[in-house]
Structure 1
Amino acid sequence: MRDKEIERQLYAIASVQQGYFTAYQAKQAGYSDSRFAYHVKKGNWTREGRGIYRLVNYPYGDRPDLVYWSLWSMNRQGKVQGVFSHATALTIHELSDIMPANYHMTVPKGFRRYHPPPENIVLYFENLSKEDLEEYEGYRVTNPKKTIQDVLLDEGFPEDLVAQAILEGLERGILTLDQISELKKGPKSKRLSRILRGIQNHER
């Protein structure tokens, strides 16, 4: 494969990941391990972390940090495992004033890494369905309904912030009353009913 074709294939991969790519993806594009150090030294790539690189001249997009940690969750087959959820998803959807110090990510129940996750990553283990997800540029996030469900299940998450997220979602039209009614039939229905009563009392 010619160098230009290899470069084109890598660019195609990186262009949907805000300029980021993994060593695995570079190899899939046609680069050999021996060329990695060369491209870093020449200033074509930057090494962002273990097995994660970035095209130097690619413009930064929205939340490159989320792209990085999404790629961090990639398995040996080159498939991203992590989906941003809980407090991080609330922030992405702009449903709360909360500014989480850590990244909250849901991964499949069988998720395994050779190295332990860094301290700034909080992992939740659940096999999500496609209906629970939304695709962003280079990362995935739980949709607003699933995000509300997740923070409801987390007893440590403040109820006033759940209420804020519900109100904001309804006002912006990214949550519906039908979805809230569906959540009332699931786990933590009593907690949700209590939060909804608080919202109603506050609006009176």
Structure 2
Amino acid sequence: MPSGQLTKRRALFQLAARQHGYVTAAQAVEAGYSHQAQKYHVDRGNWVRVDRAVFRLLDWPAHPEDHLVRWVLWSGGLGVVSHASALSVHDLGDLDPAKVHLSVPARFRRSASEIVLHRPLPPDIDIEDREGFRVTTPSRALAECAQARIEQHWLDGAVAEALSRGLTTPRRLRAAATELGVAAELGAHVALEAAGR
């Protein structure tokens, strides 16, 4: 393999390694793969087209958070995993949302039936970086779920677990809920009282 090809391939694989095997068309172009070369790799079965301008390299090992990376890339890297999906990432409570919850900028205009979009993006202080995606902090995710009025017993369990694991404090949760309004404040207050806090 010529050294130029090897350099391109290495750049693409390094990027894919940070994103669970996924790359966008724009990222592939940046690594040196023209749109024609991308079509070639899809046609040859080297890459799998998972969405418009989103590919997954063939035979990449599966990871439980692959679908989150896919949807963040679908959003052009703008989306942040949030709400009930963020609780799942933090392994809080028993929620297993059927759809991925993604917070996006107010101006974002795409949609897909497999996801629930929330606007606007949370402030950077309420976001954590993960491998291949960003996610709201435990405090923010709990407050978002309270604002969305998930069933209180689900929220109570997630808040109790977050407190016992040291992922949030009553003060941080109340502050996050206050930013999101009355529904979030009420849900957080009830959950904290249920946890004896």
Distance 1:63 1:191 in 2: 28
Q: How does 1:46-85 map to 2 (within 5 A)?
A: 46-74=48-76, 80-85=77-82
Given the two structures, how large is their TM-score scaled by the length of structure 1? 0.85
Counterpart of 1:152 in structure 2 is 146
Matching residue's letter, 1:154:
A
Identify if the C-alpha distance between structure 1 residues 23 and 59 changes in structure 2 by more than 3 Å, giving closer, same or farther. Answer: same
1:94 aligns with 2:91: yes
Question: Aligned ranges for residues 182-197 of structure 1 at < 5 Å?
Answer: 182-183=175-176, 186=179, 187-188=181-182, 189-197=185-193
Task: Name the amino acid aligned to 1:166.
Answer: V
1:20 to 12, 19, 22: 22
Residue 195 of structure 2 is matched in structure 1 by 199
Task: Identify the match of residue 160 of structure 2 among 140, 162, 167.
Answer: 167
How many residues matched?
192
SS in 2 for 1:109: coil
Taking a change above 3 Å as real, the CA distance of residues 59 and 184 of structure 1, as seen in their structure-2 partners, is: closer
Q: Which runs of 5+ in 1 are unaligned?
A: 75-79
- Cα deviation for residue 150 of structure 1 reads 0.8
- Residue 123 in 1 paired to residue 117 in 2? yes
Letter in 1 for 2:142: I
Question: Is residue 134 from structure 1 mapped to residue 128 from structure 2 by the alignment?
Answer: yes
Cα distance, 1:27 vs. partner?
A: 0.7
> Is the partner of 2:196 in helix, strand or coil?
helix
What is the RMSD of the two structures over their aligned residues, measured on CA atoms?
A: 2.0
Moved more, 184-193 or 117-126: 184-193
Q: Extract unaligned runs of 5+ from structure 2.
A: none
Moved more, 83-92 or 126-135: 126-135
Task: Tell me, in whole angstroms, the C-alpha distance in 2 between the residues paired with 1:149 and 1:20.
Answer: 30
8 Å contact kept, 2:174–2:188:
no
Shift of 1:184: 6.5
Normalising by structure 2, we get a TM-score of: 0.88
The 4+ residue runs of structure 1 with deviation greater than 4 A are 183-186
Q: How far 1:171 sits from its partner (Å)?
A: 1.0
